[in-house]
Amino acid sequence: MPTTTELAANLVTKTPGKGFITYLYRDTEGTVRNQDTLSFSVTRLIAENIQPREGNYLVRNPAGLTRNSHGLYPATYFIDAPGIADNDITWSATSGPGLGSVQFPHGNKGKSVTAWGTVAGDVKITATIDGLVGKPPEFNVRVFDQVTVPVALFVVYNSNGTPAISPNSGLIDAMFYNANLILRQAGISLTFNLAVHTVTNSAWFYTGSYNAHTNDMAAMGGYARSLGMTDVLKVFIVGDITNRVANTAPAGVNMTDQCIVIKTAYVNGAVLAHEAGHSLGWEDIYDRYPMDKNYLIEGYVSADRMDPKDWGAGHYPEDRFQSALVRRLLMHGDEGVWGTATEEMGYIPHGQVYGFTRARDQPVQRKCNVGLDGMIQTRVPKHP
């Protein structure tokens, strides 16, 4: 080791890649003796609990997992960190009442791991990185026992005998399957083991949206109750939902004391899960003011725009716009995205997220109730 009395340093970085500090040192007589170089890794570190597509469908960031000791409901966590070796990353559950309840069935090393929960409770999963200066990535996870929610499903026919969708359509099964992929973030599984019900009603076939007139939906709810279907989630598939409010074209609507209505073109899991979310107590959130889409949420994600549990250690991409985060949320209310169901969507966070509300008289921005902490305690969405 040199006896250093003076240090001249140059920092050279490439991002990501190798960094170098080149320095000179003098001996005790003041003579420059040598030049040396200290090398180190410079990397970008992004950590998000994004789950890859499943069945070519949805991407989601699970804040919650459904408990299953057989591992049928795993989640994938990954780090994007060029220059860091897989072997230098070790994942573990590090705190919380559910500590020890998370397992890594395919190992706990590397940039991407699979985790599942075996005991209900809150845990923190930390990715320890050898040699990292700063706070390691961490994810807060709530492990749920699953609740099963019965659904009464109705297909509406018009007076010509045309159904909104064939009661035998595979799209109906797919809708439930995919809705449950989303809702298992909250430990919820919708089931319609009862047969698909059919009803002929031309007015309902082209039902009005919630804000225009609620008579149709009240009548639908009343009809289902008259058949003894109380305290279940009631879902009606109709031909169309007419647009009675400017700038809205609902894919689905939920009159929370009556029923959910979904129109034919949007019989997909994202819409069903979103509408069920309203019955769980969640509100719509928008990246743009719904009445004038020139208003966009400005700026980037930050700690004060979400719940501390969702922020984690904050290793978001530095260019992650808040508007992009809002568009990922299950409760994102812009129906324009619901037809494709191939984008990143369906994320249920822990807590509130900053965005536009559905206020229609002025563009209101605030934290919106779209997360696990704000849902009804029973986790059983239902209509009376």
Is the CB of 216 or the CB of 284 nearer to Zn ion?
Answer: 284
User: Could you say whether residue 310 binds Zn ion (CB under 5 A)?
Assistant: no
Which tokens go with 25?
A: 């040192």
Interacting residues of 361 by C-beta distance below 8 A, sequence separation 6+? none
Q: Residue 359 Cβ, how far from Zn ion at the closest point, in Å?
A: 14
Q: Are strands 233-238 and 259-263 parallel, antiparallel or unpaired?
A: parallel
Cis check: omega of the bond before 308, within 30 degrees of 0: no
Is the CB of 123 or the CB of 175 nearer to Zn ion?
Answer: 175
Q: Residue 370 Cβ, how far from Zn ion at the closest point, in Å?
A: 10
User: Could you say whether residue 252 binds Zn ion (CB under 5 A)?
Assistant: no
Task: Work out the burial of residue 314: count CB atoms within 10 Å of its CB; fewer than 13 is exposed, 13-18 middle, 19 or more buried.
Answer: middle
Place of tokens 């009343």: 222
- The mark string for 142-161 relative to Zn ion (x by CB under 5 A, - otherwise) is --------------------
Element (H, E) at 32: strand 32-42
Stretch of residues binding Zn ion (CB under 5 A), selected from 72-80, 116-124, 143-151, 277-285: 277-285
Residue whose Cβ sits closest to Zn ion: 284
Q: Which of 138, 284, 334, 335 binds Zn ion (CB under 5 A)?
A: 284
User: Could you say whether residue 307 binds Zn ion (CB under 5 A)?
Assistant: no
Place of tokens 């849902």: 375
Is the CB of 79 or the CB of 188 nearer to Zn ion?
Answer: 188
Reduce the secondary structure of 270-319 to three states and give it as a string. HHHHHHHHHHCCCCCEECECCCCCCCECCCECCHHHCCHHHHCCCCCCCC
Q: Which of 136, 208, 269, 333 binds Zn ion (CB under 5 A)?
A: 333
Is the CB of 270 or the CB of 301 nearer to Zn ion?
Answer: 270
Name the residues that contact Zn ion, by CB under 5 A. 284, 333
